[in-house]
Amino acid sequence: MTDLNENDYLLLTPGPLSTSPTVRAAMNRDWCTWDDDYNVGVVTPIREKLVQLATASRPDEYTCVLLQGSGTFSVESMIGSTIPPDGKLLVLANGAYGNRLAQIAARLNINHIVHDSGELAPPDLMRLGETLSDDPGITHVVVVHNETTTGMMNPLEDIASIVKSQDRVLLVDSMSAFGGVPLDVAELGVDYVVSSANKCIQGVPGFGFVIGRVAHMKQTKGWARSLSLDIHDQWQCMEHGRGKWRYTSPTHVVHAFYQALIELEEEGGVAARHARYTENQRRLVTGMERLGFRCVLPVKYHSPIITGFRSPEHPDYEFQRFYGLLKAQGFVIYPGKVTGIASFRIGSIGHVFPEDIDRLLIAIQASMYWE
């Protein structure tokens, strides 16, 4: 069970997440950014470990670039840096994070089309295949792995197999799944994947990372639509500078992340973490349904990451009041984000254990003031 101080609360949100005391303690000193202890001793092993997490089968074909900022900065850098000036992007959207991919493409003036399947349905695979056959101008496809809006796990394997059979570049926002859900980008044929420090690897917020296929990344020099978000430039600096970042790096956050990676290994790797998150989510759904709550999505679309629940239909129910009662008992939950359905969300990731979920369910039962 998570050990908390008196006024702390457990974050049951889509990020930032609850972290271990040892991850937080790893930040408790200052470091020089150009020193070898940092670049060679910490940044370089982080890059190597992240590639290993992305593909155990063919790590030599991929590289990893760390980038300052929240996760969206890395998503924007991936979209803005890996599509040539005359490229065309197909965005698969089924929620707020998918829509954000389209928003980024629009803001960067990237030629793109959007397949929006709505928040309650996965991407339309038939339509994807047909569109790629009909429009040879489409060079890239981008999709969210786990759509954190609803908690829907998108069918990445099927999407990748269609995109690869048509020989296009596949970009994946796996922000909320990477490190918590087993994945092998080389086997799937994913060209780029992005995530951040403060999701399933359980570090603190401050940077993100892009893992990309070296053979493709080599071609992208000069394509970036932004200086500070130029993945090729950042990559070259990290390669030739042996772990050096362009511009000030978040040293404390990077040290915390290194510790978080060690703790992921100690837990037993991604498979063990996935098992813990799955058990958290299973207990959560079973317990919530026993209390009379209903899930937003059918079970077949659930992920171990986050779950949406419909708001109670009682006229006295108010999210803010419910939230406040839970916070007073040490738990922070998240508002819903699905259009047209009053809901709230509870995350099952981070330094959170099945016993914490049991305690949460007791707190929820005690907070159902409308009953």
Ligand X SMILES: *Cc1c(COP(=O)(O)O)cnc(C)c1O
Q: Among 212, 226, 233, 224, which residue's Cα sits nearest to residue 81?
A: 224
Q: Point out which span in 155-163, 172-180, 251-259, 317-325 binds ligand X (CB under 6 A).
A: 172-180
Out of 19, 26, 67, 71, which residue is the one contacting ligand X (CB under 6 A)? 71
The only residue of 11, 17, 175, 181 in contact with ligand X, by rule CB under 6 A: 175
Q: Which stretch binds ligand X (CB under 6 A): 170-178, 211-219, 243-251, 264-272?
A: 170-178
Q: Tell me how far apart the alpha carbons of residues 141 and 313 are, in angstroms, rounded to a whole number.
A: 39
CA dist., res. 345 & res. 306, Å (int): 7
Measured from the CB atom, the residue of 97 and 258 that comes closer to ligand X is: 97
330-369 positions binding ligand X, by CB under 6 A: none
Among 11, 26, 50, 97, binds ligand X (CB under 6 A): 97
CA separation for the pair 269, 340 (Å, rounded): 38
Q: How many Å apart are CA 176 and CA 13, to the nearest integer?
A: 11
Q: Shortest distance, CB of residue 35 to ligand X, whole angstroms?
A: 28
Q: How many residues form the binding site for ligand X (CB under 6 A)?
A: 13
**Least distance (Å) between residue 117 CB and ligand X:** 16
CB-based contact 367:325 (threshold 8 Å): yes
Residue 64, beta-bridge partner list: 211
- Is residue 144 a contact point for ligand X (CB under 6 A)? yes
Instruction: Report, in Å, the least distance between residue 134 CB and ligand X.
Output: 28
Binding test (CB under 6 A) with ligand X, winner from 20, 33, 52, 70: 70
Which one of residues 14, 59, 151, 336 is an interface residue with ligand X (CB under 6 A)? 14
Least distance between ligand X and beta carbon 19 (Å): 15
State in angstroms the smallest separation of the CB of 156 from ligand X: 12
Q: Are 128 and 162 in contact (CB under 8 A)?
A: yes
Residues with Cβ within 8 Å of 266's Cβ and at least 6 positions away in sequence, in order, are: none
Q: Which of these segments, 69-77, 160-168, 268-276, 325-333, binds ligand X (CB under 6 A)?
A: 69-77
Mark residues 39-68: x for contact with ligand X by CB under 6 A, - for none: ------------------------------
173 binding ligand X? (CB under 6 A): yes
Q: Which two tokens stand for residue 66?
A: 């760390």
Residue with the shortest CB distance to ligand X:
71
How near is the Cβ of 181 to ligand X at its closest, in Å?
Answer: 12
Closest CB to ligand X among 59 and 206?
Answer: 206
DSSP code of 121? S
Which amino acid makes up residue 145?
H
Helix (H, G, I), strand (E, B) or coil at 36: helix
Question: Please, which residue, 71 or 122, has the CB nearer to ligand X?
Answer: 71
As a whole number of angstroms, the distance between CA 183 and CA 186 comes to 9
Q: ∠249-81-148 over CA atoms, to 5°?
A: 75
All residues at 6 or more sequence positions from 370 whose CB lies less than 8 Å from its CB, including other chains = 312, 314, 316, 317
CA distance 360 to 226: 44
Binding site for ligand X (CB under 6 A): 14-15, 70-72, 75, 97, 144, 148, 173, 175-176, 196
